[in-house]
Amino acid sequence: MKKIIFFIILFFITGAVIYNLYPEKKLPTNAEIDYIIVKKSNRQLLAYSKQILIKTYQISLGDSPVGHKEFEGDEKTPEGVYIINAKNPHSGYHKNLGVSYPNEKDIAKAKTLNKLPGGDIKIHGVRNKLGFIGKFQRLFDWTNGCMALTNNEVDELYYAVNIGTKIEIRP
């Protein structure tokens, strides 16, 4: 019985290591991403160049991903059309791309709730010094409303996306 349990554990660990280390399709060299669609319900970020889908990424979202972000602390990822408005190579979460949330409509909605709208919505990697987590970060929603990728994936997007790129975040 102990041997069976040992082999089950060994099989699980081997499978987990293979999952995390198995190489995925890379973004083509010199790709210029000019449009991003996020499909929250599918946990996908789709990167387009000249209306052609170049790559689909699996993402993690905020702890409470269903619905549009209404106020600071609701743990939701916003929905709507925004732009990439910043790039930070020294983020606490590897690198990040800033999303222009909140817009005027978001601010007005938060005011009706007598709350602050929040901000600092990003596309980012894993918290610094935890990059070894890799693809395991995809297994659950863990951000405060951001869209999380592996560090390697954020590196790809960081260099392929310009400030001003349109991002559409769908339910």
In-domain check, residue 19:
no
In-domain check, residue 4:
no
**What CATH number did the domain enclosing 104 receive?**
2.40.440.10
Q: Each residue of 38-56: pLDDT tens digit?
A: 999 999 999 999 999 999 9
User: What pLDDT score does 31 carry?
Assistant: 92
Domain count, the chain: 1
In-domain check, residue 16:
no
User: What pLDDT score does 21 carry?
Assistant: 60
20, pLDDT greater than 90: no
In-domain check, residue 8:
no
User: What pLDDT score does 3 carry?
Assistant: 73
Q: Is 124 a catalytic residue?
A: yes
| Contact yes or no for 133/104 (Cβ under 8 A) | no
In-domain check, residue 156:
yes
Given the residues 68, 90, 94, 146, select the one marked as catalytic.
146
91, pLDDT greater than 60: yes
- What tokens appear for 22 in the block? 């198995």
Residue 24's pLDDT band, with cuts at 50, 70 and 90, is confident
User: What pLDDT score does 127 carry?
Assistant: 93
Structural domain boundaries enclosing 144: 25-170
In-domain check, residue 134:
yes
Given the residues 68, 90, 94, 124, select the one marked as catalytic.
124
In-domain check, residue 17:
no
Q: Is 94 a catalytic residue?
A: no
In-domain check, residue 93:
yes
Distance from first CA to last CA of the chain, Å, rounded? 47
142, pLDDT greater than 60: yes
Nearest by Cα to 169 from 110, 106, 89, 81:
81
Secondary structure in 3-state letters for the chain: CHHHHHHHHHHHHHHHHHHHHCCCCCCCCCCCEEEEEEEHHHCEEEEEECCEEEEEEECECECCCCCCCCCCCCCCCCCEEEEEEEEECCCCCCCEEEECCCCHHHHHHHHHCCCCCCCCCEEECCCCCCHHHHHHHHHCCCECCCEECCHHHHHHHHHHEEEEEEEEEEC
